Amino acid sequence: MALGSFGVGLPVGSSKGVKGKGRERVPAPMGDGQANDSTSDAERMVQLWTAEDAAAAIQSSGRTVMALTRMLQAIHDEMAQLCQKTRGSNGVGLQLTIQRRTSGAVSLRWKTSNQCTLSAEALAQRLSALPPDAQRWYAELDQQARWTNTKERLVRHARQVMRDLYA
């Protein structure tokens, strides 16, 4: 199941409650308090979306939309925190910025000091010129930014699906 890779601690390829040999748990990449709330919200979504009939999903879709909105806000807060790590004059000329689209989508993008957006290839090229410690730090931050962008897309899509059910 796709939500297993969402980082909610569910076995990869299965839903909650399914046990099997050789299945590893995916670690939750969030803080302890945030992970518990998000895990229970995500587990409820999995249960709703895998139900035999749509009645359960429709009956609780309003609460689910609210929970997904809270999750989305937490992700947006996480994005702002990641941007703060690269703010100011860091001597490298790279910073993460938040890009907001008219569709409501929010994503993190790398920009240079003169506000030019960097592609993944251009970022890799710039990182290769840095000292090894700086390369590692920026590569880890880039990985966090990509994962945060993915979480934002997943939760925003799930919220829209639940809104459509509720309408």
- Calculate mean pLDDT across residues 14-31: 40
- What are the contacts of 111-116 at 24+ separation with CB within 8 A? none
Q: Using alpha carbons only, give the angle 147, 152, 154 rounded to the nearest 5 degrees.
A: 95
**Is 8 or 107 the better-scoring residue by pLDDT?**
107
The per-residue pLDDT for range 24-39, each reduced to its tens digit, is 333 344 454 545 555 6
The tens digit of pLDDT for each residue in 88-104 reads 767 788 999 999 999 99
Determine if the pTM surpasses 0.95.
no
**Cα 67 to Cα 100: distance, rounded to the nearest angstrom:** 22
Query: What ranges do the domains of the chain cover?
Result: 51-166
Whether the CB-CB separation of 8 and 28 falls below 8 Å is answered with yes
Rounded CA separation 10/26 (Å)? 6
pLDDT at 163: 85
